[in-house]
């Protein structure tokens, strides 16, 4: 894989941070939700945000 320039690296770090924040917030919303369907929706969205963060982090290796 080609080397990332400074701008690309900065953008990638920003995106990783956004997905980490999303994962944390969605997980918290899932814990607070009382409706099972809403809880499941938040859990799935949190898992998706986490998976995307992991994929983005793989570009740093």
pTM for the predicted model, two decimal places: 0.88
- In the block, residue with structure tokens 């945000």: 49
Per-position DSSP letters for 3-60, written without gaps between them: PP-HHHHHHHHHHHHHHHHHHHHHHHHHHH--SHHHHHHHHHHHHHHHHHHHHHHHTT
Query: Residues 6 or more apart from 49 whose CB is under 8 A from it?
Result: 19, 20, 22, 23, 26
Q: What is the pLDDT of residues 14-47, one digit of tens each?
A: 999 999 999 999 999 999 999 999 999 999 999 9
* More confidently predicted of 5 and 33: 33
Res. 1: pLDDT tops 70: no
């Amino acid at each position: 894989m080609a080397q990332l320039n400074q701008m690309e690296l900065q953008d990638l770090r920003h995106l990783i941070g956004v997905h980490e924040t999303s994962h944390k917030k969605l997980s918290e919303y899932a814990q607070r939700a009382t409706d099972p369907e809403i809880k499941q929706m938040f859990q799935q969205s949190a898992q998706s945000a986490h998976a995307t963060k992991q994929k983005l982090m793989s570009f740093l290796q």
